[in-house]
């Protein structure tokens, strides 16, 4: 009965999405749909409640391990820990798509409930576009990927979740990314609504900006969590490999970063109108392309849940309709978007435009490198595109972007003179040059890590230059957010460059009591022992690791064997210090009582993920600051309206008295 309730709620939500779509677009046409327009907001809010109920029913089915439901039987097991039973809800194709639709419907309900800044026609068009996007995914779920399908005969124990996904990092990583993707769908709906009603205004940007900023924060956290999960769980010692599925999450982040800056300029300075609309379409396009890559089955990956070509075709049709339709609308209406206020090249707006162009170029590089192997494989030609392409080609645009990122916040809006900030420019340049010279003299280092370290050290100081000569207590939260986000990028950049330049690796075969060295560490294999978990057994190494002359620490890397489903995984062991991490993985027996050990010393590698958290924190502060500013602005406008009403009323009364 639980599955049937969930499915019924999903059908009702789809019907409301259809009503919301038709009513929204009818209401845009002058003189039409006036009566039905009153249904749009209630339909959106009720749709959100129904989908939330449907997803809650699926969570319940996984929590109680109802093995009569096909999805539960294929992705859960009676002996699996509860946390992984619950994460199994979205650790598969159907459940993850239901989560996507749930977040999307909740976002639409929230817009309908709280957003009153835009003209009603623009709001109706926005909710109509949001309903249309949701309707496509409802069709996908109900016609191609029903999460509540029953089995003719219930399973006995269940197949179990992929062991690589039985990790707390993967329990949180997908939902975080979905919040980001869905935030971009909201930005897309706002862009379509503004195009349909020809109302690309600062108010439109202020309404869209919190959604873009929230999506950007969640994408940042999702990518950071996914990178760290791959680093410690997969046992290969890397934090990013330019895998197509990694790129599928990076591309929306790049587009969202450009959109965020463009929307902020439009909201604050009434410029970059066309840029903002175009980037709103592009950002959601990237999330749709990522969805297609992951869900279509054309990629073989731990993330790729679908292997049915029919599903891939369905998503491709949705992608073509949504993105093609939005681009066509943009082409037809772009000439109706007024230019907005002009600005000088040497201004903060000019710096933001330059960096948006650089971000767009990097996005194109990643997109090309991701799709090219898939295109060549269609002609039976296998091509591998990896770091030798992405790193140097991306750096061509990334390094100039970093330079402008350090200088741009120092410039004034509208127009400025570079000589006004010559002392700051000189300090920035001197820091970078000094770092290049010193690093070249002290260590042997490749070009890209050298530039990354030098740029990171210079930007670490430049990030805080916008705070100069200002009272810290009076600096807006949005400005603090910008400073922290830029500083977080420099922290992550230093971590990436350090890991690339200074990592050391040793592959050894040791018997109990033997030692190996890697970097400043001496690692001794004390013993190898069998251990067992709730749904796995493992061979566990007991290592004693000493950093220089310090006290030894105990590490316990494992080689696990799961039985539901049968699979072997490696569990790395990490020892973290302020200046880096020791990373240990135990491998297969090497004969004569020896076991393979793979050891890495990775200086300052943790700065990569600390930087990601700082970036997200900066985004949260900026979001709080912008929301508070919008609330204050609306309060002032409301007070002014009240004052005008009072003055008009007094004027009428005084006129009556004169009569």
Looking at residues 276-292, what average pLDDT do you find? 90
Give the C-alpha separation, 482 to 406, whole Å.
12
Tokens of residue 621, six digits: 């502060």
> How buried is residue 297: exposed, middle or buried, by Cβ count under 10 Å (0-12/13-18/19+)?
middle
In this prediction, residue 301 carries a pLDDT of 45
3-state secondary structure 318-363: HHHHHHHHHHHHHHHHHHHCCCCCCCCCCCHHHHHHHHHHHHHHHH
Mean pLDDT taken over the chain: 89
pLDDT digits (tens, 9 = 90+) for 63-110: 999 999 999 998 888 877 888 888 889 888 889 889 989 999 999 999
Residue 55 has pLDDT above 50, yes or no: yes
DSSP, collapsed to helix, strand or coil, labels residue 592 as coil
pLDDT digits (tens, 9 = 90+) for 518-568: 999 999 999 999 999 887 899 999 999 999 989 999 999 999 998 767 888
Going from N- to C-terminal start, the domains of the chain cover 1-163, 422-502+607-625, 504-603
In angstroms, how far apart are the furthest CA atoms of the chain? 113
Percent of the chain with pLDDT strictly greater than 70: 95
Beta pairing partners, 579 = none
Q: Pick 613 or 322 by higher pLDDT.
A: 613
In this prediction, residue 389 carries a pLDDT of 95
Residue 113 has pLDDT above 50, yes or no: yes
Q: Is there a contact between 598 and 193 (Cβ–Cβ < 8 Å)?
A: no
Distance of CA 362 to the CA centre of its chain: 16
CA geometry: angle 408, 409, 415, nearest 5 deg: 65
Work out the pLDDT band at 656, boundaries 50, 70, 90.
Answer: low
Work out the pLDDT band at 306, boundaries 50, 70, 90.
Answer: very low
Q: Pick 312 or 575 by higher pLDDT.
A: 575
Percent of the chain with pLDDT strictly greater than 90: 61
Give the C-alpha separation, 578 to 380, whole Å.
48
pLDDT digits (tens, 9 = 90+) for 439-472: 999 999 999 999 999 999 999 999 999 998 888 8
Q: Pick 34 or 582 by higher pLDDT.
A: 582
Residue 659 has pLDDT above 60, yes or no: no
Looking at residues 509-518, what average pLDDT do you find? 95
Residue 25 has pLDDT above 90, yes or no: no
Work out the pLDDT band at 305, boundaries 50, 70, 90.
Answer: very low
In this prediction, residue 31 carries a pLDDT of 52
pTM of the model: 0.92
Work out the pLDDT band at 310, boundaries 50, 70, 90.
Answer: low
Looking at residues 460-485, what average pLDDT do you find? 92
**Any idea what DSSP says for residue 413?**
S
Residue 658 has pLDDT above 60, yes or no: no
Q: Pick 591 or 614 by higher pLDDT.
A: 614
Q: Is 524 left (phi over 0), alpha (psi -120 to 50) or beta?
A: beta
pLDDT digits (tens, 9 = 90+) for 373-419: 888 877 888 888 889 999 999 999 999 999 999 999 999 998 999 88
CA geometry: angle 400, 406, 408, nearest 5 deg: 90
Give the C-alpha separation, 159 to 84, whole Å.
13
Residue 300 has pLDDT above 60, yes or no: no
A 10 A CB-CB count for 479 gives 16
In this prediction, residue 1 carries a pLDDT of 84
Q: Is there a contact between 356 and 265 (Cβ–Cβ < 8 Å)?
A: no
Could you please report the per-residue DSSP string of 185-230? HHHHHHHHHHHHHT--SHHHHHHHHHHHHHHHHHHHHHHHHHHHHH
Give the C-alpha separation, 431 to 455, whole Å.
9
Looking at residues 6-28, what average pLDDT do you find? 93
CA geometry: angle 405, 612, 278, nearest 5 deg: 55
Tokens of residue 560, six digits: 């696990």
Q: Pick 116 or 525 by higher pLDDT.
A: 525
pLDDT digits (tens, 9 = 90+) for 216-229: 999 999 999 999 98
**Any idea what DSSP says for residue 150?**
B
Give the C-alpha separation, 301 to 304, whole Å.
5
Highest mean pLDDT: which range of 119-128, 156-165, 168-177: 119-128
In this prediction, residue 303 carries a pLDDT of 45
pLDDT digits (tens, 9 = 90+) for 593-637: 899 999 999 999 999 999 999 999 999 999 999 988 888 888 887
Instruction: Compute the residue count for the chain.
Output: 659
HSE-CB for 339 with a 13 A CA cutoff: 3
Residue 147 has pLDDT above 60, yes or no: yes
Work out the pLDDT band at 235, boundaries 50, 70, 90.
Answer: confident
């Amino acid at each position: 009965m639980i599955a049937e309730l969930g499915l019924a709620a999903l059908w009702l939500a789809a019907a409301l999405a259809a009503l919301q779509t038709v009513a929204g677009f009818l209401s845009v046409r002058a003189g039409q749909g006036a009566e039905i327009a009153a249904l749009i907001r209630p339909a959106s809010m009720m749709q959100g409640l129904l989908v939330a109920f449907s997803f809650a029913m699926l969570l319940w089915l996984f929590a109680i391990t109802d093995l009569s439901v096909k999805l539960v039987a294929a992705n859960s097991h009676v002996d699996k820990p509860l946390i992984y039973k619950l994460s199994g809800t979205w650790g598969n194709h159907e459940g993850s798509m239901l989560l996507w639709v749930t977040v999307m419907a909740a976002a639409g309900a929230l817009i309908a409930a709280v957003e009153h800044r835009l003209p009603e026609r623009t709001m109706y068009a926005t909710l109509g576009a949001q309903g249309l996007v949701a309707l496509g995914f409802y069709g996908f779920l109900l016609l191609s990927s029903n999460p509540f399908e029953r089995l003719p005969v219930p399973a006995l124990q269940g197949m179990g979740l992929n062991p690589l996904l039985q990790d707390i990092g993967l329990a949180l990583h997908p939902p975080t990314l979905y919040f980001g993707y869905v935030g971009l769908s909201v930005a897309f709906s706002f862009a379509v609504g503004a195009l349909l009603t020809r109302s690309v205004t600062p108010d439109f940007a202020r309404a869209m900006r919190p959604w873009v900023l929230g999506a950007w924060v969640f994408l940042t956290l999702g990518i950071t969590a996914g990178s760290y999960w791959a680093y410690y769980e997969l046992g290969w010692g890397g934090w990013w490999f330019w895998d197509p599925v990694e790129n599928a999450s990076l591309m929306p982040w790049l587009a969202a970063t450009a959109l965020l800056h463009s929307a902020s300029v439009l909201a604050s300075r009434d410029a970059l109108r066309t840029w903002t609309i175009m980037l709103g379409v592009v950002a959601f396009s990237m999330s749709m392309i990522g969805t297609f890559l992951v869900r279509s089955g054309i990629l073989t990956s731990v993330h790729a849940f679908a292997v049915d070509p029919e599903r891939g075709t369905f998503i491709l049709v949705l992608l073509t309709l949504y993105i093609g339709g939005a681009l066509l609308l943009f082409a037809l209406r772009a000439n109706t978007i007024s230019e907005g206020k002009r600005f000088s090249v040497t201004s903060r707006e000019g710096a933001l435009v330059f960096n948006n162009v650089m971000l767009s170029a990097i996005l194109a590089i990643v997109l090309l490198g991701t799709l090219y192997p898939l295109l060549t494989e269609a002609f039976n030609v296998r091509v591998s595109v990896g770091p030798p392409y992405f790193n140097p080609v991306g750096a061509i645009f990334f390094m100039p972007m970093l330079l402008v990122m350090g200088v741009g916040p120092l410039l004034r809006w509208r127009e400025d003179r570079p000589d006004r900030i010559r002392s700051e420019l000189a300090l920035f340049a001197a820091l970078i040059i000094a770092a290049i010279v010193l690093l070249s003299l002290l260590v042997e280092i490749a070009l890209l890590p050298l530039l990354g370290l030098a740029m990171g050290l210079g930007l670490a100081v430049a990030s805080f230059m916008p705070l100069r000569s200002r009272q810290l207590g009076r600096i807006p939260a949005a400005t603090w957010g910008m400073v922290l986000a830029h500083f977080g990028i420099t922290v992550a950049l230093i971590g990436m460059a350090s890991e690339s330049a200074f990592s050391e690796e040793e592959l050894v075969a040791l018997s109990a009591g033997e030692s190996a060295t890697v970097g400043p560490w001496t690692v001794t294999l004390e013993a190898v022992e069998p251990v067992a978990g709730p749904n796995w057994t493992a061979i566990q190494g007991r290592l004693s690791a000493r950093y220089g002359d310090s006290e030894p620490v105990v590490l316990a890397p494992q080689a696990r064997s799961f039985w539901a489903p049968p699979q072997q995984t490696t569990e790395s062991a990490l020892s973290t210090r302020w200046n880096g991490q020791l990373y240990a993985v135990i491998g297969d027996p090497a004969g004569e009582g020896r076991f393979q050990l793979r050891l890495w010393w990775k200086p300052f590698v943790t700065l990569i993920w600390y930087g990601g958290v700082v970036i997200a924190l900066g985004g949260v502060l900026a979001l709080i600051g912008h929301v508070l500013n919008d609330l204050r602005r609306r309060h002032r406008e409301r007070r002014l309206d009240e004052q005008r009403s009072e003055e008009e009323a007094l004027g009428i009364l005084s006129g009556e008295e004169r009569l």
